[in-house]
Structure 1
């Protein structure tokens, strides 16, 4: 007996389902309310349920797995080519169903609740850092308009406060009071960011995989926790290069007539994790005591940023190998052919 495949178009309130009966070949379409979705699949035999990897997809994936089904999440850009007509819920569900049939289709691993919790902390921290940077830049720009050139850096907030004191007699008091309130908001944001980082550090200390990743030069608490939470099961990637491609660290290709041209890195996939790893690699290359002979030779013949990306690619592949094969970091490790 063949397993039935369902295509589900997720939404906040109304869900569209598309499937083909494996025995009769009859096409089925159904529209369900949010409260009806779990009941619908609870009364069905084990099936393959495909969904777009969009909002709430991981939640519904866990729900369907608990009912005995196999959940497959597909990136939205892989579903779009299969939409045959105007974009409707029914057309999207059918496109998801068709995309799930492709033998070479790549699927997104369903994240656990713990993974999503850690990534939630990272997303909130990322947003707070952006807001803090915006407020600091605005404050420094406004001070510059009144003749106070203060370095635009969160570590120089003391200088900004001193500049406000010096300018108290030359600019309106209402401006001074407003900028001091801005300073207090920036300080409050810094405290919130520090609290989130303490929570991430506490989680990282209790996670064995994250602790092992910390041994890699260029991987800190943020990178280690984000990598473990993002990857989940590393065996979902067939090889280290596939994981590097997931992070957008491999070259884009453009070619025709049998000639392929390699371009810059694709920058696809998870932007946040790629950014953390690139910053870590940049810190390693800036610190000479951590440089290997290979890195030194690379810096001697290639621009600094090119070397940074090359080292980031190596770090990403090392992370995959350690998680997929449950290994510890070994400096100077050389892979041997099977």
Structure 2
């Protein structure tokens, strides 16, 4: 069965899931050391380098952890590149949603409940985009 244009392949969906798991793992590791990172791939990447540098200056992170986080960030970047080159259609809808959330200051999570609600909403957006792509391909 040929792959239709605009429909994410199972491999692409798996790459997106892997990137989400990796960034969530980074967020969790850093929160154990008192470093809260924003939700969202691009927001996390913007903030994490500055937070790492600040924590290193304050001697709050073991050197081994910093090396490990840097290597995980390389894997996240590689996954992102693979997704970008796969023609993943959800990225446009997700980019729009992130833009709207950022515009209304809704990406700043103030409590765990808000974090879980935001993650659930973003997962819902991804599901809607995927179903829309499936319907469009028929």
Which category of TM-score, normalised to the shorter sequence, fits these structures? Answer: 0.5 to 0.7
User: Which protein, 1 or 2, shows the higher relative CO under an 8 Å CA cutoff with sep ≥ 6?
Assistant: 2
Q: Check if 1:164 corresponds to 2:52.
A: yes
Larger Rg: 1
Q: Check if 1:185 corresponds to 2:80.
A: no
Deviation at 1:122, TM superposition (A): 1.5
Match of residue 194 from structure 1 = 84
Looking at structure 1, the residues matched to 53 and 132 of structure 2 have their Cα atoms a distance apart, in angstroms, of: 36
Task: Write out the 4+ residue segments of structure 1 that deviate beyond 4 Å after TM superposition.
Answer: 116-119, 219-222, 277-280
More helix by share: 2
Looking at structure 2, the residues matched to 276 and 159 of structure 1 have their Cα atoms a distance apart, in angstroms, of: 27
Over the residues paired in the alignment, what is the CA RMSD in angstroms?
A: 3.5
Looking at structure 2, the residues matched to 278 and 192 of structure 1 have their Cα atoms a distance apart, in angstroms, of: 22
Q: Deviations over 1:36-93 (max 9, x none)?
A: xxxxxxxxxxxxxxxxxxxxxxxxxxxxxxxxxxxxxxxxxxxxxxxxxxxxxxxxxx
More strand by share: 1
Structure 1: 5+ residue stretches without partners: 1-112, 202-218, 223-273, 281-315, 324-338
Structure 2: 5+ residue stretches without partners: 94-126
Q: How does 1:7-46 map to 2 (within 5 A)?
A: none
Q: Does the 8 Å contact 2:23/2:76 carry over to 1?
A: yes
Looking at structure 1, the residues matched to 78 and 130 of structure 2 have their Cα atoms a distance apart, in angstroms, of: 27
Give the structure-1-normalised TM-score.
0.26
Looking at structure 2, the residues matched to 221 and 140 of structure 1 have their Cα atoms a distance apart, in angstroms, of: 24
Q: How does 1:1-338 map to 2 (within 5 A)?
A: 113-115=1-3, 122-156=9-43, 157-168=45-56, 169-197=59-87, 275-276=128-129
Match of residue 120 from structure 2 = none
Number of residues of Structure 1 aligned to a counterpart in Structure 2: 101
Q: Give the direction of change, closer, same or farther, for the CA distance of 1:175–1:131 in structure 2 (3 Å limit).
A: same
Looking at structure 1, the residues matched to 37 and 92 of structure 2 have their Cα atoms a distance apart, in angstroms, of: 31
Give the structure-2-normalised TM-score.
0.60
